[in-house]
Each structure stands twice: as structure tokens, then as C-alpha cells.
Amino acid sequence: GDSVTQMEGPVTLSEEAFLTINCTYTATGYPSLFWYVQYPGEGLQLLLKATKADDKGSNKGFEATYRKETTSFHLEKGSVQVSDSAVYFCALGGSGGYQKVTFGTGTKLQVIP
């Protein structure tokens, strides 16, 4: 079945550091890929998405590229801020024609001043 594997957290970075959160997936067919973010006490929000191979999703300084050859969708940001502290979830959807989304386990990011 479909699955998403994320790097384990928590990840602690200093403000303005470079961020990478690794994500790899296993899926049938050609799924869409997503990054969602969860701030404390809230539900998840879509951060960015990519719908086909080599697409780059971007939002709020975050980027991720859909790499079919390595089945990866790593999240990057050049300079993190304290306000980026949250839990980040990699996810895939639409695999095999089913309209459901499978999430990874989440990676907690803490940015310190």
C-alpha cells in the first residue's frame, strides 16, 4: 500500500539556518505530493504541493521538488524563522485513483533565536 517516510525529529535549528526535512514515498501510479504544517493546538494547513514529476511546489519561502526517480519530496527553506516552529507532515494523495491522502509521521521543527 501507499506509505510516506519522513526523517525523525525533533529538528532544532537556530534562526536563519538552512532547513531540510527529508521525505520519501511508496505509491501506486502517479500521486500528488503535499507538505502540510501544524502549529500548536491547530489542525493541519496545506503548505505546498506538486502534482507531477519535476514540479516544484513553493510557499512562504519553503520549496519541495517532486523527484520520481528517487521517490522523494524533500522540504527546504533557506533561512528559518522562530515563527516556522511547527510540525511538518509529508503526504501523498490520489494514488491508484483513490481520493484519499496518506500522511507521514510528522517532523517537529523548533527554531531558536
Question: With contact defined as beta carbons under 8 Å apart, do 3 and 102 qualify?
Answer: yes
Q: How far apart are the first and last CA of the chain?
A: 41
Lateral strand order in the sheet of 62-65: 19-21, 75-77, 62-65, 56-59
Tell me the site size for another protein, rule CB under 8 A. Answer: 21
113 counts as binding another protein under rule CB under 8 A: no
- Count how many residues are written for the chain: 113
Pick the piece of the chain touching another protein (CB under 8 A) from 20-28, 41-49, 53-61, 65-73: 41-49
Q: Which of residues 51-110 bind another protein (CB under 8 A)?
A: 89, 93-94, 99-106
Binder among 44, 63, 67, 76 for another protein (CB under 8 A): 44
Q: How far apart are CA 91 and CA 106, in angstroms?
A: 9
Q: Measured from the CB of residue 33, what is the shortest distance to another protein in angstroms?
A: 11
Per CB under 8 A, residues contacting another protein are 1, 6, 32, 36, 42-46, 49, 89, 93-94, 99-106
